[in-house]
């Protein structure tokens, strides 16, 4: 690997900073201490800071040797928030706050971008401006959307924006990036089936919402198998069914909740309409009433072709072309999608290893995201920071309009 020397030599300090963040996780829109740490470090390195965007977001502004006079800019984004879950790890930097944990590696993402920030501020061997976007509330809060609403791209004009997430299972020293959809949209539905309660021994006097719900759940699966093109991925998951309070009572209502995930808005439109039609007509067939709610959360994360190719070339120079993999699309969701709806860019994966960096824990393996024994692999910090530095330098040192060619 072609790591930048200063980033490799400073890896221990950045690992200590990352572990401090891990020990003090904060949930979405509550990243006050984390934002303080980020702002303090950026200020210490002579980087002007803008705070409060998207509630707790931080933007660092690194101007190049021309003081940013050329007007060009590129954005690098890291997320800062933790998850509302209990950590099972017993190492020294485990969470000190019950019910909060950095189980997705956002502490590591923050550390990688901070390491890059320090190097960029020290050398400034580019023209234009690098915008360091430390985003709150990726885990369900839509922090990217809120930063955009607060004027992120108006106040900090940039040609493109790039994001990165650690990914479990792959060998350290490998990246993955591809053009097109790489993460799915995330959407939620709630259906209330209102029947007529009664005695369980006299079901003919009632309108039982439970068999209506059962018919509905089965029918929803036909949307994917019979209404969606086989090449268009989609997932409809009914994850909650609530009804009744006693074994001898037919309940008045039954409530279904769940999620829908797709890689395109067109498929999502179709699924939502078919679900609504099935829900309403199934209820009508049984004499029940239907309340259908569908909430669209994160859109699909879609990488621009030119920016993905540019990122791939940068990665190849660092780890070799054979270690830059095709990015397998995942049905997980990511609110960096909002940024990619507004600006061209690319969202990549950096492999987090197979778990040898930490104790054997619980859940789906020590490296799997969102499990209580997860920990970010500190070996990634100088590698990820090298990628950020090289990406920014090459983008801004390439003539305007040709960086993505």
Q: What are the distances in angstroms from CA 183 to CA 31, 161, 234? A: 25, 16, 12
pLDDT of 357 reads: 56
Q: Let me know how many helices (H) and strands (E) the chain has, helices first.
A: 11, 16
Q: What are the distances in angstroms from CA 18 to CA 76, 110, 347, 378? A: 18, 8, 22, 8
**Orientation of helix 11-23 relative to helix 380-396, angle to 10°:** 110
Read off the pTM.
Answer: 0.93
Alpha helical stretches, state H, 45-151: 106-123, 143-149
Domain regions of the chain by residue span:
5-184+300-396, 187-296
pLDDT of 170 reads: 86
- Report how far residue 213's alpha carbon sits from residue 259's, in angstroms, rounded to the nearest whole number: 16
pLDDT of 356 reads: 65
Which CATH number among 3.40.1360.10, 3.30.565.60, 3.40.630.10, 3.30.460.20 corresponds to the domain 5-184+300-396?
3.40.630.10
Chain-centre distance for alpha carbon 382: 22
Which CATH number among 3.40.50.620, 3.40.50.300, 3.30.70.360, 3.30.420.40 corresponds to the domain 187-296?
3.30.70.360
Burial of 53: CB neighbours in 10 Å, binned 0-12, 13-18, 19+ = buried
Closest by CA to 1, choosing from 176, 167, 122, 172, is 172
pLDDT in tens, the chain (405 residues): 899 999 999 999 999 999 999 999 999 999 999 999 999 999 999 999 999 999 999 999 999 999 999 999 999 999 999 999 999 888 999 999 999 999 999 999 999 999 999 999 999 999 999 999 999 999 999 999 999 999 999 999 999 999 999 998 889 999 999 999 999 999 999 999 999 999 999 999 999 999 999 999 999 999 999 999 999 999 999 999 999 999 999 999 999 999 999 999 999 999 999 999 999 999 999 999 999 999 999 999 999 999 999 999 999 999 999 999 999 999 999 999 999 999 999 999 999 987 765 555 444 455 689 988 899 999 999 999 999 999 999 999 999 877 666
Domain 5-184+300-396 shares a fold with domain 187-296:
no
- Report how far residue 167's alpha carbon sits from residue 329's, in angstroms, rounded to the nearest whole number: 12
């Amino acid at each position: 690997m072609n790591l930048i020397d200063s980033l490799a030599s400073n890896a221990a300090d950045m690992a200590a900073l990352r572990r401090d963040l891990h020990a003090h996780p904060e949930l979405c829109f509550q990243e006050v201490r984390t934002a303080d740490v980020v702002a303090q470090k950026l200020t210490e390195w002579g980087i002007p800071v803008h705070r409060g965007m998207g509630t707790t977001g931080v933007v660092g502004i690194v101007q190049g040797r021309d003081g940013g006079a050329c007007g060009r800019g590129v954005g690098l984004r890291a997320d800062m928030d933790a998850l509302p879950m209990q950590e099972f790890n017993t190492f020294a930097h485990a969470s000190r706050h019950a019910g909060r944990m950095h189980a997705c590696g956002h502490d590591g993402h923050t550390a990688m971008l901070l390491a890059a920030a320090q190097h960029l501020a020290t050398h400034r061997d580019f023209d234009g401006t690098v915008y360091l976007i430390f985003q709150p509330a990726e885990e369900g809060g839509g922090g990217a959307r809120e930063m955009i609403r607060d004027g992120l791209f108006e106040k900090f004009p940039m040609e493109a924006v790039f994001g990165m997430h650690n990914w479990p299972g792959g060998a350290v020293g490998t990246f993955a990036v591809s053009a097109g959809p790489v993460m799915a949209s995330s959407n939620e539905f709630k259906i209330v089936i209102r029947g007529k309660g009664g005695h369980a021994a006299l079901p003919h006097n009632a309108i039982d919402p439970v068999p209506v719900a059962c018919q509905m759940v089965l029918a929803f699966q036909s949307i994917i198998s019979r209404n969606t093109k086989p090449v268009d991925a989609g997932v409809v998951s009914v994850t909650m069914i609530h009804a009744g309070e006693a074994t001898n009572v037919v309940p008045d209502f039954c409530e279904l909740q769940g999620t829908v995930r797709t890689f395109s808005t067109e498929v999502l439109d179709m699924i939502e309409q078919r679900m609504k039609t099935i829900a309403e007509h199934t209820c009508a067939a049984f004499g029940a009433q239907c309340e259908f709610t569908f909430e669209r959360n994160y859109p699909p994360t879609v990488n621009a072709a030119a920016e993905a190719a540019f990122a791939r070339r940068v990665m190849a120079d660092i780890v070799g072309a054979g270690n830059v993999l095709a990015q397998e699309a995942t049905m997980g969701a990511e609110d960096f999608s909002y940024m990619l709806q507004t600006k061209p860019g690319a969202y990549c994966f950096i492999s987090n290893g197979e778990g040898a960096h930490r104790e054997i824990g619980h859940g789906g393996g020590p490296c799997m995201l969102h499990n209580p024994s997860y920990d970010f692999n500190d070996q990634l910090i100088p590698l990820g920071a090298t990628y950020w530095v090289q990406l920014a330098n090459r983008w801004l040192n390439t003539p305007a309009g040709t960086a993505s060619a």
